[in-house]
Structure 1
């Protein structure tokens, strides 16, 4: 019995040592929307669940929603500096900082955000290695194409003249300025207040976020066309990633793919699109479908943004642009 007990003890010790060697990691993931938002419930939570299951529980993720760890515009630097291990970042909140990435913000390129997410990931991942070199790029998460929502009708570009508009990102802010409007640049969680208190007359947003952020009672008029996208990114602190065991790095890498960008985005895309029908069914909203001539007016008004982007990027801009268009076409997401 003594020998058996001794052998059992040695075996238990060996198992314990093996368990200790199988390092566990707890990651802090920060974002800036409410915890009930589809970004969390349909994107982040399924991604986290898959990551945990694939690692047999060795990777745990604690989610910090609603700007708990920092303001929305700070999330890139929060990933870089390790304030969070993973952040959900909108690069468009920082004008001019990521000029190549800002191509995706120019209207009339992506007409859907499922194929668009996969295309964006494939196109931008190699660019991110230099343009966002102090973080690890993981996923791209564009929303369903957004448009203008306003207190009074906006039908053609001239209607923006004189309005204060909360733009989705820096490129839309530039576009609003070019049309004679005044950009009111606040992150999404502060958008309702800007509309409600009269600071802004209109907003560029995807459809159902008008309801999610409680803006539906303030903006009864909507331009009914797929106009622009804003794409958020999931970014990882490099020290966190480099400090993980190789097998856990491999699991994380498997969750940072173009296919995962599409999968991560699908639920939110569907949810945002549903807001349009909700407005139609309510009888309280007016959706204006522009004519073909009016769509062309909008496209002509936005065209200078492409030339400005190429000038800012400089050498290689045309090749980068062509690569983005080719990726959209490859995934049936070209406007």
Structure 2
């Protein structure tokens, strides 16, 4: 009984000391910038949960304000915004700046992942060995995927040859290369600008995950959907280094505890479930054509996409010691989490 009382008193004293330490930390205000709508599931689920957990773990000494929908800057500028202190944390799509972040581009390769939950944890665990090398201007908090996306178009796309002559809004640099390989032209616009590009005829098709078609209103501009898990997009949450270094040790630990592979999966999970639900919603909508490829069609798509892996290895040659080993490492991480294609 005495031991139990002593242990309880020790725990209580430790909690009191820890709480006091947190309470003594100076208040830190963080501006979290992103470019998707505030109703997007990534904010509603992942970002909100992350912010609330950070604030609670810091004892209220860290306050995070989310700035959605490009309020602080254009989507393509969010990395530099975090670097320059315009935002303190930014949600970025590395593929919006082709060629700048070639290593993480491995995650963009077609026919790589099967789901964004385990896939996000795998990508994060793999990329940590390269993050400081490739994104040294910022503190990389975590990286993750969205659920696999596909072609959505104004005219049917069933086989690779159908892309020939089309103008396509690609999700990122790798899909842009794929469109070029297939004989298409790229219409480079960010996700918030995509519907307008399609409605004005600047683009004939888009590569996008399923429910984002509905979130961004793109279902009003396209009616044909290729039913194949073709590709995924990588994302990163990056933080201004000076802001992080200016925090107390307790506050840094709170941030570090929320910048993990486990959190990468948690913030991606709600979005992944939401995206996957979009496929069924679109199937049930009038005026929309779901194109189911045959086994031969899928084989043709895989064959058409094969050169992209060689292109990625060429792009990172001299940046990573052994490109094939690096790619094998990512696949191994995906397989260990049951998320490889």
TM-score bucket (shorter structure):
over 0.9
CA offset at residue 56 of structure 1? 1.4
Tell me the residue number matched to 1:64: 67
Structure 1 segment 1-335 matched on structure 2, within 5 A: 21-314=24-317, 315-335=321-341
CA distance, structure 2, for counterparts of residue 140 and residue 130 of structure 1: 15
Q: Cα 1:328–1:25, aligned 2, differ >3 Å: closer, same or farther?
A: same
Q: Secondary structure at the residue paired with 1:88? A: strand
CA offset at residue 284 of structure 1? 2.5
CA offset at residue 164 of structure 1? 0.3
CA distance, structure 2, for counterparts of residue 141 and residue 42 of structure 1: 14
Kindly indicate whether the alpha-carbon contact (under 8 Å) linking 2:143 and 2:234 is maintained by their aligned counterparts in 1.
yes
Q: Secondary structure at the residue paired with 1:63? A: strand
CA distance, structure 2, for counterparts of residue 216 and residue 320 of structure 1: 38
CA offset at residue 22 of structure 1? 2.2
Q: Cα 1:276–1:246, aligned 2, differ >3 Å: closer, same or farther?
A: same
The unaligned stretches of length 5 or more in structure 2 are 1-19
CA distance, structure 2, for counterparts of residue 122 and residue 81 of structure 1: 26
CA distance, structure 1, for counterparts of residue 120 and residue 142 of structure 2: 9
CA offset at residue 133 of structure 1? 1.1
CA distance, structure 2, for counterparts of residue 53 and residue 284 of structure 1: 47
Q: Name the TM-score, length of structure 1 as normaliser.
A: 0.93
CA distance, structure 1, for counterparts of residue 324 and residue 287 of structure 2: 45
Tell me the residue number matched to 1:8: none
Tell me the residue number matched to 1:13: none
CA distance, structure 2, for counterparts of residue 303 and residue 25 of structure 1: 48
Q: Secondary structure at the residue paired with 1:97? A: coil
CA distance, structure 2, for counterparts of residue 223 and residue 30 of structure 1: 32
CA distance, structure 1, for counterparts of residue 143 and residue 88 of structure 2: 17
CA offset at residue 283 of structure 1? 3.3
CA distance, structure 2, for counterparts of residue 41 and residue 33 of structure 1: 11
CA offset at residue 232 of structure 1? 1.2
CA offset at residue 141 of structure 1? 2.8
Deviations 1:156-187 (A, max 9, x none): 00000000000000110110011000010100
Q: Secondary structure at the residue paired with 2:232? A: coil
CA offset at residue 202 of structure 1? 0.4
CA offset at residue 18 of structure 1? 7.7
CA offset at residue 270 of structure 1? 0.7
Q: Name the TM-score, length of structure 2 as normaliser.
A: 0.91
Tell me the residue number matched to 1:11: none
CA distance, structure 1, for counterparts of residue 337 and residue 229 of structure 2: 17
CA distance, structure 2, for counterparts of residue 143 and residue 162 of structure 1: 28
CA distance, structure 2, for counterparts of residue 256 and residue 220 of structure 1: 39
CA distance, structure 1, for counterparts of residue 146 and residue 189 of structure 2: 18
Q: Secondary structure at the residue paired with 1:108? A: coil
CA offset at residue 108 of structure 1? 0.5
CA distance, structure 1, for counterparts of residue 22 and residue 41 of structure 2: 36
Matched length = 319
Q: Cα 1:21–1:92, aligned 2, differ >3 Å: closer, same or farther?
A: same
Q: CA RMSD in A?
A: 1.3
CA distance, structure 1, for counterparts of residue 48 and residue 282 of structure 2: 28
